Every structure is written in structure tokens, then in C-alpha cells.
Amino acid sequence: MKFKIVSLVILSLSIFFLNSVYSKTIEETYREKVFNYIKKVEEFESRFIQIQENEVQNGSFYKGNNRIRIIYDEPTSIEFVIKKNNAMYFNKNLQEVQYFGTKNNNAKIFFDLFNDLSFLDDANFKNASSMFYFYKDINVDDEAIEIKVYFEESPILLRRIDILEGENITNIYINNINFNPDFDKDFFSLANPLLK
């Protein structure tokens, strides 16, 4: 009887241990895939659909060398250009330009996701059918924000970003990705567009 109990305990511990090792191996595999994907993709452009509080907005997303540009379609007509420490907001309809630091707002999330390879160091990974995603909590201006980033598995492609800030959820769906964009040299400029 003691032998059966000891055998059952050993079997249970073995299954638990093997499952943990297997899960860790899968997580490491996904982490490496995402790391290589982000490292390889220096520039791209895509379309996006953003859903926030039942409001749907469309636009274009551009990633350049250490810079990001986001352009919302009509009727919003808002543009953001983001680099590591600074960003520019341009409202075409109001002819308004504002500059701000990226340290304490969501702009830092987007910049770090695409430009800081250590961004994934403390992320957790989950597999979801033909997709996988990572999630992590980030503190922005003393507020906890959960971010989930979804990738299509084969071939690996960024597909969705979810940002959860308290009760507010923003879903961003990425589509029509072009990995060979042709950007003008001033495309990611932070210069005031009203002074051109």
C-alpha cells in the first residue's frame, strides 16, 4: 500500500515537473520568435482598426528606425510621431500641434514594444489556437496598465494589441502589413508641420 502511494506521489510530481519544463520550453520558443521578429522588422507600414469604448477608428501605422508615426483617418485627422523621449501630436482639423514627453503615457508602450528588445523580458506567453500572445503589466504615471500583444503563429505576424487601463479597453487590430515601405527622409520628422 505504501509503495502504491509513494509511486502515485512520484508519478504526480513527475507529471507536474515535466509539464512545467514543457511549458517553459514553449514560452521560451515564443519569446525567441517574437524577439527575432521585432529585431528583424526595422521598418514597416500597416493599416489598423482601433476600438475604444464602442468607438471605431481606422488609420495607418508606420515604423521607421527608432520612430513611429500613427495617422488616423477622417474625420479624426490626427497624427502622432513618436521617438524615444518625445512625441508630436498634430490635429489637422484644428491646426494644432503639441509636443510631449513619452515617459508617462501610452506612447512609450508603442515605442518600447517595437524598439526595446528588453520589453519582453518580464512578459508572460500564452498559446491560443493558431495565434499566441504575450501579456505584461506596465506602470505609466503610477497607473497599472495591462498590455496583450497577439501574433499569428505561421508565419509570425503582429495582429492585435489590447491595452487595459482600469475599466477602459482599447483593441487595435493590425492588417495589410507591408515590410518594404518607401519613406521620405522627413516622413518621421518632429518638425512642426504648420511651419512647412
Q: Which residue reads 505584461 in cell numbers?
A: 136
> Which of 65, 16, 70 is closest to 41 using CA atoms?
65
* pLDDT at residue 6, as a whole number: 47
Cβ(123)–Cβ(31) under 8 Å? yes
What's the DSSP call for residue 182? -
* pLDDT at residue 14, as a whole number: 45
Q: How confident is the model at residue 39 (pLDDT cuts 50, 70, 90)?
A: confident
Q: Which residues contact 17 (CB under 8 A, 6 or more apart)?
A: none
How far apart CA 165 and CA 141 sit, in angstroms, is: 12
- State the CATH class of domain 2-189: mainly beta
Q: Which residue has the higher pLDDT, 154 or 63?
A: 63
How far apart CA 123 and CA 162 sit, in angstroms, is: 14
> pLDDT above 70 covers what percent of the chain?
88
Going from N- to C-terminal start, the domains of the chain cover: 2-189
The pTM is what? Answer: 0.80
H helix runs in the chain, sequence order: 2-40, 106-115
Q: How confident is the model at residue 71 (pLDDT cuts 50, 70, 90)?
A: very high
Widest CA span in the chain:
86
Neighbours of 66 (CB within 10 A): 13
* pLDDT at residue 16, as a whole number: 46
What's the DSSP call for residue 189? -
